[in-house]
Amino acid sequence: MAGQLGKGRRTRHAVVIGGSIAGLLAARVLADHAERVTVVERDRFPEEAAPRAGVPQGRHLHVLLEAGQRAVEQLLPGAVEELRERGAPRVGMPEDVVQWQAGSWYRRSAATAYLLTGSRPLLEDVIRRRVLADPRVEAVQGTEVVGLAGDAARVRGVLLRERGAGRAAEPRLLAADLVVDASGRASKAPEWLAAIGAEPPREETLDTGLAYATRVYRHDRHGDDTDALGYYVVPNPAQTSSGVALPFENGHFLVTLSGLRGQEPPTDAEGFEEFTARLPHPVLRDWLAKAEPVSAAHGFRGTANVRRRYDRPGRRPAGFLATGDALCTFNPIYGQGMAVAAISAVALRDALADRRRTPTTLRVQRALFRASRQAWDISAGADKKMPGAVGDAARSRPHERAATWYLARVQERACGDPVVGAAFRGVLSLMEPMTALFAPPVLRAVLFGPVPEAPRLPPLWRETPDA
């Protein structure tokens, strides 16, 4: 098995660190290649769909991009339909949202991309129940991984300690042929690797200092003012404050406000709503004035983009992989994390099933890296233009200038040109590769077409077919 993960003889036991979406979906894939899979989770899973301490951003707005929906459905057929049946709204872009981006309001023309906007606890609950119903997958709860077993040549398991037992408690060994780190952005795997004589990965970081706050609202007369399902003001270097209101289950809305370092949205009731005065139009503030808050506001600050380069050669052991936020984490404002977790699980499945190539640790890790690359390019590419961005990935390189110029023209036209808009949404939803922005019809419109007329005021009503 040296260096080999899934071809030849079966993996006897795989351990997944973390019962996150990334960890659960990885466990689903590994169940087809291992005799048994153990998911080790620090928390205890809730009985129902509810926030849990191990997901500190779980109370905030989450969207499942269209590529993420497709990936989840490939791995867990029927899961997307179940999400819809349990109340997760399906929101069409741009038709269903009053959207301001790059200085313009978007025409509410026919949707070409769709979001699922159910809550994070709901999505976790649906995925968790389906994955753990597989008798090949076991969850060990209330237990934390405190280290790796093995050496620089091969990982042979994990060291466990019951959560709350204290550092003096002797950790126990859980032997494994394969260990997958899905423990999130706070992963300790680089330290664990160093402790067994291996080389930790180089980290790339980019941090704008963005912070956001979220509050739940009910708006019983929402439909009197608009037929849109929500509002979205997208930040840019000139407009660094953002606001979004989208529906989730039970007829409620999640409202998330964000600002950069030094301009963080407050979490007191009055300050939260006053923050909307920073937005380029009072439409969201007016909406909040008619809505009823049904929760406190919760803040969150850990929004840096961080990428750990496990894909690069180094003195690292066979039998260890990283996925999800433990591999690559994004500024949450772009809504990519859950989709990338699902896309990465599909990449893991495909890499392990590829009969043309031996699935070595490095080869599979590179497949996971590629699965997250487009989302990183979008998130980091946008964030490096924001004022005050810091980190070794914040520097713009000379070859990026032409791309920046071109993408600025794309955004100028995406608000009203249906061809450019569809391509732009296809890329942002991770359904299409970046090259879709350079397809001949898009290229002609971007380079030679006029900037289309955009709505002068927030388009509260969708366009009629002949508009």
* Rg (the chain; Cα; Å): 23
Contact (Cβ atoms closer than 8 angstroms) between residue 310 and residue 369: yes
Number of domains in the chain: 3
Domain with 369 in it:
11-62+123-205+303-381
320-322 and 178-181 as β-strands: parallel, antiparallel, unpaired? Answer: parallel
**Strands in 154-225 per DSSP E:** 155-162, 172-175, 178-181, 203-206, 211-218
pLDDT cut 90: percent of the chain above it: 87
Mapped onto helix, strand or coil, the DSSP state of residue 221 is coil
pLDDT cut 70: percent of the chain above it: 97
pLDDT in tens, 276-300: 999 999 999 999 999 999 999 999 9
Tell me, yes or no, whether 83 lies in a domain.
Answer: no
Residue 2 predicted with pLDDT over 60: no
Mean pLDDT across 309-314: 94
Whole-prediction pTM value? Answer: 0.94
Whether cis (ω within 30° of 0) applies to the bond prior to 452 is no
H helix or E strand, kind and range, residue 350: helix 337-353
Shared domain for 51 and 169, answered yes or no, is: yes
Mean pLDDT across 439-452: 97
Shared domain for 466 and 322, answered yes or no, is: no
Mean pLDDT across 361-372: 97
Mean pLDDT across 366-372: 98
* Complete DSSP assignment for 3-22: TB-SSSSPEEEEEEE--SHH
Shared domain for 331 and 424, answered yes or no, is: no
The pLDDT value given to residue 446: 98
Shared domain for 160 and 296, answered yes or no, is: no
User: Where is pLDDT greater, at 465 or 402?
Assistant: 402
pLDDT in tens, 20-72: 999 999 999 999 999 999 999 999 999 998 888 778 777 889 999 999 999 99
Shared domain for 161 and 33, answered yes or no, is: yes
Shared domain for 40 and 142, answered yes or no, is: yes
Residue 240 CB-half CA count within 13 A = 19
Residue 251 predicted with pLDDT over 90: yes
The pLDDT value given to residue 359: 86
| pLDDT confidence tier of residue 153, bands split at 50, 70 and 90 | very high
Mean pLDDT across 269-278: 96
Shared domain for 274 and 309, answered yes or no, is: no
In the block, tokens 């087809």 appear at 32
One-letter amino acid at 197 equals G
Secondary structure tally for the chain: helices H, strands E: 13, 21
Mean pLDDT across 180-196: 97
Shared domain for 191 and 310, answered yes or no, is: yes
The pLDDT value given to residue 399: 79
Tell me, yes or no, whether 74 lies in a domain.
Answer: no
- Of the listed ranges 47-56, 215-224, 352-361, the least confidently predicted one is 47-56
The pLDDT value given to residue 56: 73
Distance in angstroms (rounded) separating the CA atoms of residues 150 and 38: 18
* Complete DSSP assignment for 49-80: S---TT-TTTTS---B-HHHHHHHHHHSTTHH
Mean pLDDT across 251-273: 95
Residue 8 predicted with pLDDT over 60: no
Burial 316-338 (b: 16+ CB within 10 A, else e): bbbbbbbbbbbbbbbbbbbbbbb
